[in-house]
């Protein structure tokens, strides 16, 4: 399959989010332009990374957009038994970092674009490749800004994150934040005369756990998710210099992953109130006591109605009778909110394999994805949406 040949090349690009993706974007652009497909490259502010956007078919009409990210998570500290940046084929599985998340779909989408370039599409096919999805859906925002100024926006978007080729209509939103807890330093032998910022941080973590317990007990529910309620999670605490110094600073990184019925900003307001109470109680010990909360990243959830035209269309491409929702975030919520383009998540592989050593996607899943995109091209040739 052309898809596997392209996939092998994509795996070889070590596009960890902290590094550049320009070599991969250059390869994709060369591949498309060799088939007569013009590409728009949207660079990051520092020029170190880039998005790619391409359209095949008639201009000036709303079409179907295939969306994928090109960055992958690091391999640091993982026990890989196979080379992570070299495709290995074994027992019907293709191994490599990003195989499932989500270079399998990107390869299938590029192959579909090449096939589309030789067809007389009556409705356009768009391709959107982004960077820095793994660190908060950052890069795609520049691409969305460009598309927002275009005279025509895509009619619908298929985000090819791994769903085992099932049709997913939603995912939770995410708000990432940092609580900066400020105390007063001192010698540990005189600890009661100082204010331990780690203690403030622990008190704040307790308030996060209280909020999680409230949401689990009394919060809104969406039974389509494995965890049917909004979650609050602490992922990192950074504090302390030496054991004999009472620390004056503690940073707590936490997140809120909210279902559509919950307002993440409202939850954050409750957490700010709790932080203010903790700091107020500590002011009697140190006037500089404070807990300041700053949002570090946020992206919206996705909640495309199951009865919508977009969902019915993608189901017709896959043969699916039902839909699902996924636990992980995607760029689909941004396309839906900021472009008004309804998004559906459907792609090869399973996120159960993503972010792990010896990540893989099966050949069978790639064949199913190619089949879905072949049916899409047939519909676009027939003039769906024209």
Predicted confidence (pLDDT) per residue in 291-337, tens digit: 999 999 999 999 999 999 999 999 999 999 999 999 999 999 999 99
Can you tell me the distance from the alpha carbon of 254 to that of 175, in angstroms, rounded to the nearest whole number?
9
Burial of 272 (0-12, 13-18, 19+ CB in 10 A): middle
Which pLDDT score is estimated for 301?
A: 95
Q: Where are the alpha helices (DSSP H) in the chain?
A: 2-11, 22-33, 104-116, 140-148, 197-218, 264-282, 309-318, 332-334, 363-382
Which pLDDT score is estimated for 1?
A: 61
Catalytic residue among 132, 133, 255, 262: 133
Q: What is the DSSP string of 329-384?
A: --THHHIIIII---EEE--SSBTTTTTSTT-EEEHHHHHHHHHHHHHHHHHHHHTT
Catalytic residue among 71, 101, 134, 359: 71
Q: What is the DSSP string of 306-340?
A: TTSHHHHHHHHHHT-S--EEESS--THHHIIIII-
How do the pLDDT tens digits run along the chain, 386 residues long? 699 999 999 999 999 999 999 999 999 999 999 999 999 999 999 999 999 999 999 988 899 999 999 999 999 999 999 999 999 999 999 999 999 999 999 999 999 999 999 999 999 999 999 999 999 999 999 999 999 998 889 999 999 999 999 999 999 999 999 999 999 999 999 999 999 999 999 999 999 999 999 999 999 999 999 999 999 999 999 999 999 999 999 999 999 999 999 999 999 999 999 999 999 999 999 999 999 999 999 999 999 999 999 999 999 999 999 999 999 999 999 999 999 999 999 999 999 999 999 999 999 999 999 999 999 999 999 977 65
Read off the pTM: 0.92
Q: How many CB atoms lie within 10 A of CB 90?
A: 10
| Residue 133 annotated in active site | yes
Q: What is the DSSP string of 112-124?
A: HHHHHTTS--SS-
User: What tokens appear for 282 in the block?
Assistant: 């500590």
3-state DSSP assignment of residue 268: helix
Can you tell me the distance from the alpha carbon of 283 to that of 292, in angstroms, rounded to the nearest whole number?
14
Q: What are the pLDDT digits (tens) for 134-171?
A: 999 999 999 999 999 988 899 999 999 999 999 999 99
User: What tokens appear for 93 in the block?
Assistant: 């599985």
Q: How many CB atoms lie within 10 A of CB 282?
A: 24
Which pLDDT score is estimated for 383?
A: 79
Can you tell me the distance from the alpha carbon of 328 to that of 182, in angstroms, rounded to the nearest whole number?
33
| Residue 2 annotated in active site | no
């Amino acid at each position: 399959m052309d898809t596997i040949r392209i996939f092998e090349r994509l795996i070889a690009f070590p596009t960890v989010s902290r590094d550049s993706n320009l070599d991969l974007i250059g390869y994709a652009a060369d591949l498309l332009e060799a088939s007569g497909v013009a590409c728009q490259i949207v660079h990051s502010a520092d020029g170190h990374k880039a998005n790619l956007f391409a359209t095949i078919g008639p201009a000036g009409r709303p079409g179907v957009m295939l969306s994928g990210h090109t960055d992958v998570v690091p391999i640091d500290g993982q026990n890989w038994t196979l080379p992570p940046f070299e495709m290995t084929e074994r027992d019907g599985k293709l191994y490599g970092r990003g195989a499932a998340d989500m270079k399998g779909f990107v390869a299938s989408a590029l192959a579909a674009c090449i096939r589309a370039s030789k067809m007389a599409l009556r409705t356009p096919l768009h391709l959107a490749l982004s960077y820095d999805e793994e660190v908060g859906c950052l890069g795609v925002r520049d691409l969305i800004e460009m598309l927002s100024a275009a005279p025509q926006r895509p009619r619908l978007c298929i985000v090819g994150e791994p769903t085992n080729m099932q049709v997913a209509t939603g995912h939770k939103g995410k708000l990432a934040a940092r609580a900066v807890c400020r105390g007063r330093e001192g010698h540990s032998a005189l600890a009661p005369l100082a204010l331990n910022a780690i203690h403030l941080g622990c008190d704040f973590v307790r308030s996060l756990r209280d909020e999680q317990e409230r949401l689990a007990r009394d919060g809104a529910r969406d039974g389509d998710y494995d965890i049917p309620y909004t979650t609050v999670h602490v992922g990192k605490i950074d504090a302390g210099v030496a054991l004999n110094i009472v620390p004056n600073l503690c940073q707590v990184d936490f997140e809120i992953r909210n279902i559509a019925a919950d307002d993440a900003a409202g939850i954050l307001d409750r957490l700010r109130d709790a932080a203010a109470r903790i700091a107020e109680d500590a002011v009697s010990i140190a006037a500089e006591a404070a807990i300041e909360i700053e949002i570090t990243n946020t992206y919206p959830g996705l909640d495309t109605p199951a009865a919508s035209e977009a969902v019915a269309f993608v189901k017709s491409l896959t043969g699916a009778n039902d839909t699902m929702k996924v636990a992980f975030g995607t760029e689909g919520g941004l396309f839906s909110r900021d472009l008004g383009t309804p998004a559906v998540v459907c792609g090869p592989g399973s996120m159960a394999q993503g972010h792990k050593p010896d990540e893989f996607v099966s050949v069978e899943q790639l064949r199913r994805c190619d089949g879905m995109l072949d049916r899409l091209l047939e519909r676009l040739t027939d003039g769906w949406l024209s």
